Structure 1
Amino acid sequence: MRAALLALALLAGPVAAQEITYSDAATAECLAGAEEFPDQRACIGLSSNLCMEGPGGYSTYGMGGCLDAELSFWDELLNENYRARMVQAKSADEDAALYQPELPSQAEALRDMQRVWITFRDAACDYERSQWGGGTGGGPATLACLMQMTGEQALRLGAAY
């Protein structure tokens, strides 16, 4: 019994050692104070960088966890901004249908643009991963690429045109 407990403790050690501490606070605070796109863009990666500087964040596994956590933040913002932009586009389409029915649909154009953007983002980040030749840095590099591109698209969709 004692040997089994010791074996479990030894197996749990690496997992516990790789726990990370992540918070969206740095990114959210940065965005709250940034009005222009370049300033907002500079907010991308702040929280994951702080996480990687903390306990467990220095390992490849930890880096991946930190980057994935911030990617989730940007993905949520992207979806929120896309939904808001789609509401605006559909409203514009309804108005245009009354006075200029020949105009192309903004909602369809937005949907098509987002679908193509997702394909482009994924291909760009697959290329990023390919540069690591199968090495362990490929995972974090891919997540960093996804986070950066998703953050930028979230900001573009949230910008007032």
Structure 2
Amino acid sequence: MRLKALIFLPFMAMPAMAQEMVFSAAATESCLAALDETGDPKSCIGSSANACMEATPGGWSTVGMGGCLEQERLYWDARLNAAYKAVRAGAKSVDAEMREIGASAPSQAEALLAMQRAWIAYRDASCDYERSLWGGGTGGGPATVSCHMYLTGEQALYLEAQLVVN
């Protein structure tokens, strides 16, 4: 019994080693910082995932791509959530001011919530379609995560732009 455990032990550690990712959001942040006023911040989406795939052993495998893309998706999701909270707070403040002066303007906070809910449905349907294009192949997983990453990044940038405007 002990011999079986010793033979099996090295194989148990292999998947963990193969999946150690080298992810940093630095490539995306550097790309965004280097943009001038004519640059499109959307062009920076995916920079850190690509750097991760380059730096991670096996990063261009299906598992590696999925992991690196997911890490950048999480980065953009955190930015999106922070921007959404800030935009929502501003919208609630404007709504309160409008109520105070008796204006009949539509609620910004309610419109923002409806927009975000519609965007989530759009994102999910778009990425489900993207996955379907792979016909059940293994590339469907990374393609789906990539779709979520790009659309989440775009939405985060859109909401962050609302903070600059308002």
Range class of TM-score, shorter chain: over 0.9
Aligned sequence identity (%): 55
Cα displacement (A) at 1:100 = 4.4
1:1-28 Cα deviation digits (max 9, x unpaired): 2332122212322431232211111112
Match of 1:70 in 2: 72
TM-score norm. by structure 2 comes to 0.90
| Aligned residue identity for 1:104 | P
Match of 2:50 in 1: 49
Written as runs of structure 1 = structure 2, the 5 A alignment for 1:99-138 is 99-138=101-140
| CA distance in 2 between partners of 1:18 and 1:83 (Å) | 33
1:108-131 Cα deviation digits (max 9, x unpaired): 000000001001100000000011
Task: Give unpaired runs (5+ residues) of structure 2.
Answer: none
| CA distance in 2 between partners of 1:95 and 1:63 (Å) | 48
Write out the 4+ residue segments of structure 1 that deviate beyond 6 Å after TM superposition: none
| Aligned residue identity for 2:116 | Q
Match of 2:152 in 1: 150
> What's the C-alpha RMSD, in Å, of the aligned pairs?
1.6
Cα displacement (A) at 1:87 = 1.0
Match of 1:94 in 2: 96
Written as runs of structure 1 = structure 2, the 5 A alignment for 1:5-44 is 5-34=6-35, 36=37, 38-44=39-45
| Aligned residue identity for 1:127 | Y
Contact 1:132 1:138 in 2 (8 A): yes
| Aligned residue identity for 1:39 | D
Task: Give unpaired runs (5+ residues) of structure 1.
Answer: none
